[in-house]
Amino acid sequence: MAIREIRFNGDEILRKKSREVDEVNDRIRELLQDMIDTMHEYNGVGLAGPQVGILKRVIVIDLYDGNEPLQLVNPKIIKAKGKQEVEEGCLSFPNQFAKMIRPKEVTVEALNQEGKKVKIVAKDLLAQALSHEIEHLDGILFVDNMVPGTLEYIEPEAEE
């Protein structure tokens, strides 16, 4: 498949609200696969449509835990419980990290890459990743909700 261009902080598309996907077809499946390839290329845990310049409600997540990456279309958080303080970054904000308060558990409804309805009950890191990526679909960035004063820039290690 293809590696897509990541959109970075300051790109106005990141602030726009994504549109629902009417039909999960081959074009959507190709987009999802491209997003997985792009996420893996940049060692990300998740990626949302707007981050590759596509205003569609699609996200991919890979926790690198041996399971297949999640490919979700029109995901919605229908329930959230608990709180966890986490360190968070974003492929659209390279080398920047901040503390966030995220739900400890979320229940998400979506369509999978086959267009079938799925319900996911996620805890800890997966709950964090789902919350982060679904916010992207509404133009909300992690810096909007970070714990004030916790944003750090980590200098990348020099390539040898």
Whether 32 is covered by a domain: the verdict is yes
Q: What is the per-residue pLDDT for 159? A: 66
Whether 94 is covered by a domain: the verdict is yes
Q: What is the pLDDT of residues 16-38, one digit of tens each?
A: 999 999 999 999 999 999 999 99
Looking up tokens 């309805």 gives: 117
Q: What is the per-residue pLDDT for 156? A: 80
Domain containing 94 equals 12-153
Q: Please give the positions annotated as active site.
A: 133
Q: What is the pLDDT of residues 97-149, one digit of tens each?
A: 999 999 999 999 999 999 999 999 999 999 999 999 999 999 999 999 999 99
Whether 24 is covered by a domain: the verdict is yes
Whether 101 is covered by a domain: the verdict is yes
155: exposed, middle or buried (Cβ count in 10 Å: 0-12, 13-18, 19+): exposed
- Distance between CA atoms of residues 57 and 59, nearest Å: 7
Whether 3 is covered by a domain: the verdict is no
Q: What is the per-residue pLDDT for 160? A: 62
Give DSSP secondary structure letters for 55-119.
Answer: -BSEEEE--SSSSPPEEEEEEEEEEEE--EEEEEEETTEEEEEEEEEE-SEEEEEEE-TTS-EEE
- Distance between CA atoms of residues 5 and 139, nearest Å: 18
Whether 105 is covered by a domain: the verdict is yes
Whether 48 is covered by a domain: the verdict is yes
Q: Residue 110 maps to which CATH number?
A: 3.90.45.10
Q: For the chain, what is the domain count?
A: 1
Whether 6 is covered by a domain: the verdict is no
- Distance between CA atoms of residues 31 and 72, nearest Å: 11
